[in-house]
Amino acid sequence: MTPMERGSLYLSALAMAVTGLGFGWFKYFHQRLGEFGTEPYASQGLLRHAHILIGPVLVFTLGLVIRGHVQPTLKSGTRKRRGSGLLVVAILAPMVLSGYGVQVCVDPLWRNALAWLHGLSSLAFLLGFSIHRV
């Protein structure tokens, strides 16, 4: 993996983590009471938009990492940190697909299920990525 790929991965993953966790915090744990009930903070929308815009950058960077790091490591037979790396790779599909599904799904039941799947798989990705990095 080149330094540019590594830096792009770390920056895009950090930006996605910050915007995703921030959006989740405001949406689920930090509502304000307005004149007609609960209202979202203005920063909630900004965090959501930033999260959606940065998403394709992370997906593209993950594709580069799979090509330049994951495939060569699997072919070489290296065992060091392989378990955490395989966890991260296994979590990618549910995380990415549920993230896109939340944006396009109109049925509230499916949208809620995809939101939970996206949140849990994203937290698992962050945990696995952090463990793999350390």
Residue-wise pLDDT for 28-52, tens only, equals 888 777 788 777 777 888 999 999 9
Residue-wise pLDDT for 6-16, tens only, equals 899 999 999 99
Residue-wise pLDDT for 82-100, tens only, equals 777 888 899 999 999 999 9
Q: Which residue carries 């937290």 as its tokens?
A: 123
φ and ψ at 41, to 5 degrees?
A: -75, 155
pLDDT of residue 41: 79
- The answer on pLDDT for 81 being more than 80 is no
The span from the CA of 31 to the CA of 119, in Å, is: 18
The domains of the chain are located at 1-55, 79-134
Give the CA count within 13 Å in the CB-facing half-sphere of 116.
Answer: 5
